[in-house]
Structure 1
Amino acid sequence: MSVERVHRMSYAVDAAAPAGALYTLVADVTQWPLFLPDTVHVERLDFDGVADRYVRWADAGGELRRSLVRRTLDAGGRRVLFHEERPDAPVTASGGSWCVEELAPGWSRLNLEREITLDGGRAAEAERAVARAEESAWAALGGLRVAAERWRRLDELTVSFEESVRIEGPAEPVYEFLYGVGSWPGRVAHVLEAEVSEDRPGVQRTRLVNLADDGSAYATEGSRVCFPAAGRIVFKRTRPHPLLAAHAGEWCVEPDVSGVTVSCRHDVLLDERAVGRRPGPGAEPAAELAAARRYVREVVGRESRAVLEPATRYAGDPVRTLRSV
């Protein structure tokens, strides 16, 4: 009979940001795909203001893994307790806490305490699990620190929007088209090449070569998690458009009695180093940022519409409405 082992880990990082701003980023898990490099998608299942429960898809050691987490949030104490439900073997239990300390005006410290219990009979797997946990912890601390230090302009650096199309036709062929991203070259105007691999059915890795509006080509890479029964595909571009630091979103196919609504939601984080490329050298920072927001909204929106248009033809029915929200 193997003996379980408890592994305790403690991490901390200082940020040039107010404690309240840093705590807000820890508490709002829905924004983690934009700030945490390993996080592909987070979906909150329950939230009552004090306790929440969410599903997180994240890259762990080159494999996309799903975790189900419960948390208790203490906004006054800037502390979050968490516990993972049904962790993957060889981990038998996993939990810990986030805590934000104010060091001085405009400076704060983020502490992460983790405790995982491991099956003692699986030494090699246990070592890999500890290494994955440590890599994830440092990635989270680093991502949250960088985001917190942009707190004054973070709202201006993030852009969220949705494109949708109304189709009088069945949902199944539309979802099939969106799922089959490997078939997009020659069918989607800006996609020149597409490579797709599946870790397991419905969990995809993609690499696309895209045509930019100036005639040049650029590559994007990403992860997608597909839910056929719900008509959803959530995604994150781990190598996004050159003007973006992060890009996540969701394709959704919603049937009703008269047809189907197909939508694509985008959440993007502008890359500050690239913002100066719009509208040109010498522009005021505010003008550069506003121009970059408009340009990204235009380019990313046009690309998603370029996918939606052939999807409607694939369904075999005419487009009735095309709109942006």
Structure 2
Amino acid sequence: MTNPKNITVLGAGAWGTALAVIAKNKNHQVKIWSRSGLTSGDALSLTDVVKDADIILSAISMKGVSEVAKQIQSLSIPKDVIFVTATKGLDPETTRTPSQIWQAMFPLHPVVVLSGPNLSKEIQQGLPSATVVASRSATAAEFVQIIFSSPQFRVYTNLDPLGVELGGTLKNVIAIASGVCDGLNLGTNAKAALVTRGLTEMVRIAVSWGAKAETFYGLSGLGDLLATCNSSLSRNYQVGYQLAQGKTLSEVIADLQGTAEGVNTCKVLMQSAKKQNISMPITEQVYRLLQAEITPRQALEELMLRDIKPEYHD
């Protein structure tokens, strides 16, 4: 049993709250902060909430990461504080991942990525789940592993933070496509093919960015992909499913509870893939669908009519 630690959770949404509960159940002292200024019923400043923290865990949406990181950078944060990022997305201006933003702001601090097949509602219900914590510092990853491991939440370590982070980020685009697949009632065969080829795309772009291919066959890659592509609890899946039902993107987003990071990620990913001349056929069709350039059925036809090729040609 580890000694109680002070954990600050940035982000009072479903994911941040779920992680806070896990830490609280292990008798750690937890403070939750949101950009609205509300924290567990109390209005605490960012200065107050990070004071004496052993771990600062960010579960805020992608659009708020840079701003909040800059605010914390202006504070006096001891060098032994560990930053943990549980955000999934890409910065639209720099294409950087959340951990890259935190590491750039705090180059002397260890940064740990937490990602896996973790649907917040299931975790809040106490259902069994597993995740990965990854860092260039094995010591930091192991410390975070001990903090969050429980009989209901199994935590593994990994030394490929970029791969773990990209697994959780890129799968959101494939989840949108998976929702479309189910929304069109295309069947199990089509969905299996879609998810498998989607994983191939994820590996292709991630390896070109410096991630390890094998990471994508673990919990943060294949595991998260399977969970997100097969659950109506996933906001990204819901985007695709509802688009296939005839709704517009603006209508879908207006009805969502929370942020579907895959919408923004798809745009950033497509821009980067074009610059690097990397083939991303599923991502491209999802992008065109989100831009209302094509219908869900047309996106399917585009994919099915691509030139035939060997499976491992790329």
User: Into which bin does the TM-score normalised by the smaller protein fall?
Assistant: under 0.3
Q: Which structure is higher in helix share?
A: 2
When Rg is computed on C-alpha atoms for both structures, the one with the higher figure is: 1
